[in-house]
Structure 1
Amino acid sequence: MIILLSAAIAPGLALFSYFYLRNQMATEPRKTLLQTFLYGAFLTFPILFLQYVLTEEGVFQYLYLQDVIFSSVVEEFFKWFVLLIAIYNHVEFDDPYDGILYGASVSLGFATVENILYLFSFGLDTAFMRALLPVSSHALFGVVMGYYYGRAKFSKLAKTNEMIAMALCAPVVLHILYNTILSFKGYWVYLMIPFMLFLWWFGLRKVKLAHYHLVQHLHMHKKI
């Protein structure tokens, strides 16, 4: 049990540590990050319950609508909503890179609990693939979401409402593409490899841009 639990938690911890350590200019309070992680973890249960109820009731006529569209939209919406309500106006969200950390944190909270439940159901043999695909993809969806929240709050050039909308729309589109590829039975792996390479490139580009905006933000405040 301890080995399974460790294998389920380790990927999320490693990915979050990577994004946390990329922030060389400031240190975000760990308590707030932990709270955000827990928000994401708690979200897992109502989302899974909602998915279960709709499946049992046969709400969706087509599996694609249920397994791809609905699951992608509902998971990203709840994470987006939590960040908007609990974090966006928080006093600790005080620079552009914070969005990256909070987005990754809430996503990895969700992904970690989901991973624990999955490994306890299907065993340790799935741990490597789970770390490589669902956990890392959730982290990167969160990074993209957090980047646009950072732009919404701190960019004087970007339109706030548009950036907040992008914080939801961009991860939803990426998540739908990810789930669509998984729905291609038999040859999904040939599509997933280039997609994951793109997703990592796209996510790390947002990290780099957020770090650039952080430098600009700190430079501007020094002038003031």
Structure 2
Amino acid sequence: MTILAFLAVLPAAVLLYVIYKADNVEKEPIGLMALVFFLGVLSTISAMILETIGTYVLDLAFMNMGGPRNLIYTFLMTFLVVGVAEEGGKYFVLKKMTWKNKEFNFSFDGIVYSVCASLGFATLENILYVLPGGLGVGVVRAILSVPGHCIFGVFMGVYYGLAKGNELRGNMEGMKMNLRKAFWIPVAIHGFYDFCLMAEMEILLLAFLGLEIFMVVRAIKMIKLMSKTDMPLIPGVTAEEAINIRNMQAMQQAMPQGMAFQQGMGMPQGMAMQQGMQMTQGMAQNMQQPYAQMNQNMAGNFRQPYTNMNQNVQQPYNQMQNGYGYTPVQNAQPMQNDAFAAQPVQNAQPVQNEQPLQNVQEIVNTNTQNTVNNQTEELFNQDPAIMIQNEPLTDGLSNPAPVFTADELS
């Protein structure tokens, strides 16, 4: 019994670790991942209830029509009952716990949290099947069912992350479209997956094999693509800035209402904020001081030649006044009244108006931000399915070219 329980839990743990390692830019908090995983486990119970109700309604409808349980019944059961009930529970947990959470700040985060909800569901479902079914059932489900739920979560998470990026850019239509894809594409793939197994037709078993190959290859490509191009969901910021914003939001939420962050110093209420403002003002003064000194030095250098010239010109007149009693200089005062000689530096003030270092920094920041914006917009304006749909599926198995594509499922 212990070995079977371990076998039932192991596939989900391995897949969750793989997805966690693929998150290269910023790891998600274990606490939030565990919460989403646990609520995904509980969604198994809600799915069982909804499937019981859906099965009863479907049986009642076909009984009234007097028809047997045929492919139409199986299709409705797998797509509208099983697919909607199971993927709907995962989607509800994902949207409720992460959509407005500050930790959901990168595009790859959607995959991480979606896979957490999906593997939480798959873990309890797998335990319920493996314990009574034995080792053979555990091995088959470890190869097919649990990875299948993980892949459904990958498809959900890709479009879920794109939808959040659209919302933060004000693209409400794009957000709604990708949210619909985040729900209905996993439902369609899940429904077709179960339909091929429940219909008990050889041709559908071959279709199931092709679907399995398609899902694995496409999911791996999506994970690699999103991991390599992982961008902040907030437009116009770098990865480091997005992480700093997240940390500031976490500190604000951790502070008691009306109190500043005191960093364990035991400062009175409001004093920490005051100190922070004083530190900011001090930094501004320190930055301004070199420019002020440069201004004073350059102004002094500009003023000194005019002062010396004034003294040299004034000296002969003073000597003439003392020697001959001649006093025209007092009335004329040509140098003192001359506008050019009086205050040349005060009128020009070239140093105060020019800030070359700040302009250079602004140009660098603008160029960097434009590059990030272009890369981010390219990511969120393109559909990952479109970006990789032309790549060949060279998996080396018996069905290298499935007859269906992702566009047909979406």
What SS does the corresponding residue of 2:144 show, helix, strand or coil? helix
Q: 1:56, CA displacement in angstroms?
A: 4.8
* Higher deviation after alignment, 182-191 or 129-138: 182-191
- Counterpart among 118, 140, 159 of residue 129 in structure 1: 140
Residue of structure 2 equivalent to 1:116? 127
1:214 and 2:214 matched = no
Q: Name the CA shift for 1:74/1:145 in 2 (closer, same or farther; >3 Å).
A: same
Query: TM-score by structure 1 length?
Result: 0.90
Alignment of 1:35-184 (within 5 A): 35-56=35-56, 58-59=59-60, 61=62, 62-155=73-166, 156=169, 159-184=174-199
Contact 2:42 2:121 in 1 (8 A): yes
Structure 1 stretch displaced more, 22-31 or 213-222: 213-222
| Whole-angstrom distance in 2 between the partners of 1:59 and 1:214 | 49
Structure 1 distance, partners of 2:79, 2:174, is: 30
The alpha-carbon deviation at position 71 of structure 1 amounts to 0.3
Q: Which amino acid aligns with 1:179?
A: D
- Larger mean CA deviation between 136-145 and 60-69 belongs to 60-69
Distance 1:109 1:59, change over 3 A: farther
C-alpha distance 208-60 of structure 1, shift in aligned 2 (>3 A): farther
Deviations 1:176-200 (A, max 9, x none): 2111211231535433222111001
1:109: Cα distance to partner? 0.3
Residue 297 of structure 2 aligns with which residue?
A: none
Count of residue pairs brought into register by the alignment: 224
* Distance in 2 of aligned mates of 1:215 and 1:84: 20
- Identical counterparts, % of pairs: 29
The structure with more radius of gyration: 2
Q: 2:83–2:191: 8 Å Cα contact kept in structure 1?
A: yes
Alignment correspondent of 1:191: 207
Q: Which amino acid aligns with 1:183?
A: M
- Structure 1 residues 53 and 165: CA distance shift in structure 2, 3 A: closer
Partner deviation per Cα, 1:81-113 (whole Å, 9 max, x = no partner):
221122111111111111010011100000110
The secondary structure found in structure 1 opposite 2:199 is coil
User: SS of the counterpart of 1:159?
Assistant: helix
Whole-Å separation in 2 of the counterparts to 1:214 and 1:141: 20
Corresponding position of 2:20: 20
Say if 1:184 and 1:21 are closer, same or farther in 2 by CA, change over 3 A: same
- Structure 2 length as normaliser, TM-score? 0.51
* Greater RCO (CA < 8 Å, at least 6 residues apart): 1
Amino acid in the other structure paired with 2:186:
P
Q: Going by fraction, where is helix more abundant, 1 or 2?
A: 1
**Distance in 2 of aligned mates of 1:98 and 1:59:** 42
Moved more, 82-91 or 1-10: 82-91
Q: Distance in 2 between matches of 1:126 and 1:154?
A: 41
Amino acid at match of 2:151: L
